[in-house]
Every structure is written in C-alpha cells, then in structure tokens.
Structure 1
Amino acid sequence: MATMKQTPAHDTVNHDLLSLIPPNARSIVEVGCMRGQMARAYLANHPTARYVGIDIDPDYAQVAEKLCTEAFAADIESLTQDRFGRLFPSDCWIFGDCLEHLRDPWALLRRIRAQIDRDGCLLACIPNAQHWSVQWRLLSGQFRYEDSGLMDRTHLRWLTRTTMLEMFQAAGWQVSHGFSRIPATAPMQDAMLDGVRRFALECGLDPDLAVQDALPIQYVFKVTPA
C-alpha cells in the first residue's frame, strides 16, 4: 500500500501556541514539529531548554534537526515503551494541528499523562469539525478532501469543541487555558450562520451556542494533569 503524503510543510509559527509554552520549561517535546520553526522561535529566547522535535516525515525531521536540541522521524503512536520513556522527564508537550492525524489520540494523551511531570502541561491546536464551512460541505455534498486545512486528507479524527473537551477529560487532563481562532468573515458565512441558528432552533438546541461553535476554525488549549 502506498504511503499517504503528509500535509505540505510550512514555516509558519503558531504564535498562540508559542505564547502558552511556560517560560521556565526545561524539556519540551513537539509532536508534528515539521521543519522546527516553533523550536527555533522558542530556543531563541530560552537557549538552555531541551527541545525534542518528532515528525512522521523523515524529510521534515531532517531539517528540524538543525533547529531542535534533538529531532527524529517516528510514528509517535508506535514508539516502544523504552523509546517513549526516554522523552521524559519533560514538562511541556506540543501538538500543533497534530492530534487529528492520529489513530488513537485518546490513548496517546493517556500515555503522556501517566509519565509527564506533575506540574507539566500539554498544548494543542485542533481544527474544528463544527466550523460553518464544514457544515456547508455536508449540506451541499461537497465533502472533498484537500491537501491542507480543515479538509486535510490526512485527518483521521474530526473533533468539535465539545468532543475535544471530552477527549482531554477522559485522558486525565483539565483545561487551564483555552481560546478560539476565528478567521475573517468569508463569503456565504452570514447565510450559513443564519441557517445554523434556524436549524438549532428546530432541533431544540441552543441557537446562540450553535452559531458560536460554528465560528472558530481551530481551538487552542493548554491542559494540565487533572
């Protein structure tokens, strides 16, 4: 079977995630590090920190080696217990648009929770499957995968705000910070949100919450051991 090509690499730093990394973090693990730009940005101001980058694409990991303390290519879900254990002690794990690419993010979150420092944290940016544009694709039947973005063809899991919170709670984490990333208004947005509101009313749901949950394209979380 041919290997599916990963999301095209980019050198954009997610500054929302970067701002949540504790300034006193001693050992950071970033899963889905791509070419190491987050590591470069953090280590520029915290040069004594240990920053381990992991990416499933060997080409990306090879570039990241130059910017991380250590970087390697691996399927994080398939690491042996010995190799996984060598990622600890660590006090901050980062998943920037990565959890949705995993086969079982719930299991990995539990695995990290079992070994991370008690005062450690995990940061995640997760695309919102309830975004109005995804709802439009379902309504129109135009549910087509793309090379990147909300409809990335390598997404294995589709999560909403509600199920993201359930995922963290089930894995033994509690949210200490969380906020949404809402893009600029786009064509069809107002019409779709009006439809979302009316549909929610017809279904006996909270129309204001339905609209609120349809606006973010991503959610950013900082979670700590519960």
Structure 2
Amino acid sequence: MSNIPEGLDYINKPNDYYENARPEMLAFLPLGVKTALDVGCSNGEFGAAIKNKCGAEVWGIEPFEQFGKLAIDKLDTVFISSVEGAIEKLPNNYFDVIYFNDVLEHLLDPYSILEKLKIKLKSDGHVISSIPNIRYFRTFFKILFQGNWDYEDQGIMDRTHVRFFTKKSIVKMYENAGYTIVSHEGINGSKSLKPSLINIPLLGSASDMRYLQFATVARKK
C-alpha cells in the first residue's frame, strides 16, 4: 500500500471496477507464453484467463488486500503490495510478458517502473498495457469547448489517475524507457460519427480521438 497517493479514493468504486476480465486485452497475448506477470491483478480474473488460454504460470501484484486474497486462489504467486514494493521480489529474466491493464496512469512514476521491470523480462519479453486516452473526443470537447476538467469515479477522468496520456506520449514513454513498440492501437472505440466529422478538415490527423484507450505491446531492446 506504500506509494499509493494519499487522499485518492480507490476503495469506493463501482462494483465492477476491479472485476473486469478485459477479454480485449487477452487478444494481445503473444504465442508461446510460459510465464506472465499481471500488475494490478485485482481478483485474478484476467490472470486466470491467461492460464486458461495458454497454460502459463501467472504471477500477480495487487495493492489491495481484499482483492489480492481472491487472486491467491487463481494465480500461482501473488504479492499483496504496490508494484514499487514488489519489484525487488520478482526474479530476473523470468517473465515472457508483463501486463498493465489500466495501471500505469495510477502510478506516480510509471516511467521508472517500466525501466526497472526490463530486467525481470526474458530477452524476448514483452510489456502489454492498456492506457486511457486523454484525447478521446468526449473528454477533449469538455476541456476545449467547456473549459471543464472534472474528475469522476471511473473512466478517463478517474479521480485516482495521477498521469494522463495521449497516443503519442505513450509511445514516447516506452521508447524512453528502452522498449521497441511492436503494436500500438486504439481499443474500445466510439461508434459516434463526431470523430469522423472532426477528422474531415483535419485530414485524418486526429483519428486517435475515437478511442477510449490505447493497447500497446512493447519489446525490450
């Protein structure tokens, strides 16, 4: 629980906040994964899905005890700790993949965490993340046209987010931390016509505004 910013209400969230199995992120799991780490594993549902898909050994890190205890029954090893507090306990050159499903934006220093975790990956290991997109058109409109920056219980403007990212800044974060981008694509896109209309005069340069999040697969250099 250390390194979690004080005053941020992580507990009083909607019932499904910590229980989303994230099937859209499971689709990015590389072939042949034998060892995986799920950072912010919550109750272990996503890690269990990895085990079911490929039979991998799955470890988890979860800072909240009530969720971490549930994950213990589903995963092979679980640290009930902040990621900062668990890094030194992880074996070096061990994991084929490390997942951050909507976690990096909650960390005070996600940049150094990505750097420190490189040694925990195998030589061909990957980091996979889902990160909210602050340029999502509904959020962008509220900021640009209404002048509002209102925090909410969940979503892009989640009051527990301490970092905010765009499509470009996610790439910069990984590259500066010593990773090579394998894939980087928008997920959970809106069906609204507004992003398409906005992009007509912009010649498609703001197509990233359609997506709530970006899913990134990066390989350590």
TM > 0.5 fold call: yes
Preserved contact between residue 36 and residue 65 of structure 1 (Cα < 8 Å): yes
**Does the aligned pair in 2 maintain the 1:29–1:87 contact within 8 Å?**
no
Q: Which residue of 2 aligns with 1:74?
A: 81
C-alpha distance in structure 2 between counterparts of 1:24 and 1:148, whole Å: 34
- Rounded to whole Å, the distance in 2 between the matches of 1:123 and 1:51 is 14
- Residue 217 of structure 1 aligns to a residue whose secondary structure is strand
> Which residue in 2 is equivalent to 1:137?
142
SS in 2 for 1:86: coil
Cα RMSD for the two superposed structures = 2.2
Q: Secondary structure at the match of 1:123?
A: strand
Q: What corresponds to 1:24 in structure 2?
A: 32
Asked whether 1:128 is paired with 2:128, we answer no
1:101 lines up with 2:106 in the alignment: yes
Shift of 1:169: 0.3
Q: CA deviation at 1:209?
A: 4.3
Q: Aligned with 1:23: secondary structure?
A: coil
> Match of 2:62?
55
Q: Is the 8 A contact 2:8 2:159 kept in 1?
A: no
Residue matched to 1:154:
160
**Secondary structure, counterpart of 2:214 in structure 1:** strand
Give TM-score, length-normalised by structure 2.
0.86
Q: Is the 8 A contact 1:193 1:214 kept in 2?
A: no
Unaligned segments of structure 2, at least 5 residues: 1-5
For the pair 1:86 / 2:91, whether they are aligned, the reply is: yes
- The Cα shift of 1:15 comes to 2.1
Whether the 8 Å CA contact 1:197–1:211 is kept in 2: the answer is no
Match of 1:35 among 33, 38, 43: 43
Structure with max Cα Rg: 1
Following superposition, the deviation at residue 80 of structure 1 comes to: 6.0
2:215 counterpart of 1:220: yes
Pairwise CA distance, 1:135: 1.2
- Render the CA deviation track for 1:14-70: whole Å, top value 9, x for unaligned: 2232122223212111001111111121212333x2101111211111111111112
Residue 132 of structure 1 contacts residue 193 of structure 1 at CA under 8 Å; is this kept in 2? no
How far the C-alpha of 1:90 sits from its partner, in A, is 1.3
**C-alpha displacement of 1:183:** 2.9
Query: What do the CA deviations read for 1:160-217 (whole angstroms, capped 9, x no partner)?
Result: 011100000000101112221143334xx62x7756776xxxxxxxx23443121111
1:77–1:102 contact (8 Å) kept in structure 2 = no
**8 A Cα contact 1:124 1:222, kept in partner:** yes
SS at the partner of 2:215? strand
Q: Which has the higher strand share?
A: 2
**How many residue pairs are counted as aligned between the two chains?**
212
Contact 1:106 1:171 in 2 (8 A): yes
Q: % of aligned pairs identical?
A: 22
Indicate if the aligned counterparts of 2:132 and 2:212 stay in contact, CA closer than 8 A: yes
Moved more, 98-107 or 55-64: 55-64
What TM-score, normalized to structure 1?
A: 0.84
Show structure 1 runs of 5+ residues with no match: 199-206
Q: For the residues of structure 2 that align with 1:133 and 1:157, how far apart are their CA atoms?
A: 18
